[in-house]
């Protein structure tokens, strides 16, 4: 029982940190401009990459949450945060694609995605989520004691 509580608490911390990282990377890449510049196409697409990568990581965490058999409110919270990130990513991508292309792009959506995936708290969500999808891993040995 104690092990399950620790795993749930760690998963919840990783989920919240991933969400906040996606928001920070997406927001900062668009709105942090130096010397009075305004955001351009690359800034919006980089923000969309940050939002999208965080949403994909949260999507991958859902199978691990199901396998861990956590409380349903954590699934709902994760799903809600995923929807917020997906909508923010779609808005940023729409803004980016509506602007004229820069002949010398300096950043790409993958820069924003890399900023999210580089954070160590996203790794357990991705790894355990993929292991849960494959039906393997340490979550299969977690006893069920609610």
DSSP letters spanning 72-133 = HHHHHHHHHHHHHHHHHHHHHHHHHHTSPPPSS----HHHHHHHHHTSGGGHHHHHHHHHHH
What is the chain's mean pLDDT, rounded? 82
Given pLDDT bands bounded at 50, 70 and 90, which one contains residue 116?
confident
Task: Describe the crossing of helices 41-68 and 109-117 by its angle, rounded to 10 degrees.
Answer: 40
Q: At residue 141, does pLDDT exceed 60? A: no
List for the chain the helix, strand, coil content (%; round to 5): 75, 0, 25
Tell the residue number behind the tokens 């999507």, with chain if given.
Answer: 59
Please report, rounded to a whole number, the percentage of residues in the chain having pLDDT higher than 90.
28
pLDDT at position 6: 81
Task: Count, in order, helices (H) and strands (E) of the chain.
Answer: 5, 0
Contact status, residue 124 vs residue 7, Cβ threshold 8 Å: no
pTM reported for the whole predicted model: 0.82
Question: pLDDT digits over 24-82, tens only?
Answer: 988 887 777 656 667 777 888 888 999 999 999 999 999 888 887 778 888 899 999 99
Q: At residue 142, does pLDDT exceed 60? A: no
Better-scored residue on pLDDT, 40 or 94: 94
Contact status, residue 115 vs residue 50, Cβ threshold 8 Å: yes
Q: At residue 13, does pLDDT exceed 60? A: yes
């Amino acid at each position: 029982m104690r092990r399950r509580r620790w795993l749930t608490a760690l998963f919840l911390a990783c989920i919240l940190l991933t969400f906040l990282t996606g928001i920070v990377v997406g927001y900062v890449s668009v709105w942090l401009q130096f010397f009075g510049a305004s955001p351009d196409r690359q800034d919006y697409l980089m923000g969309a990459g940050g939002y999208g990568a965080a949403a994909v990581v949260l999507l991958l965490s859902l199978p691990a949450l199901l396998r861990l058999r956590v409380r349903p409110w954590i699934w709902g919270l994760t799903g809600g945060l995923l929807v917020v990130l997906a909508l923010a990513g779609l808005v940023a991508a729409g803004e980016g694609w509506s602007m004229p292309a820069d002949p010398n792009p300096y950043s790409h959506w993958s820069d924003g995605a890399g900023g999210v995936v580089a954070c160590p708290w996203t790794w357990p969500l991705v790894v355990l989520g993929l292991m849960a999808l494959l039906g393997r891993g340490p979550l299969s040995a977690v006893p069920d004691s609610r």
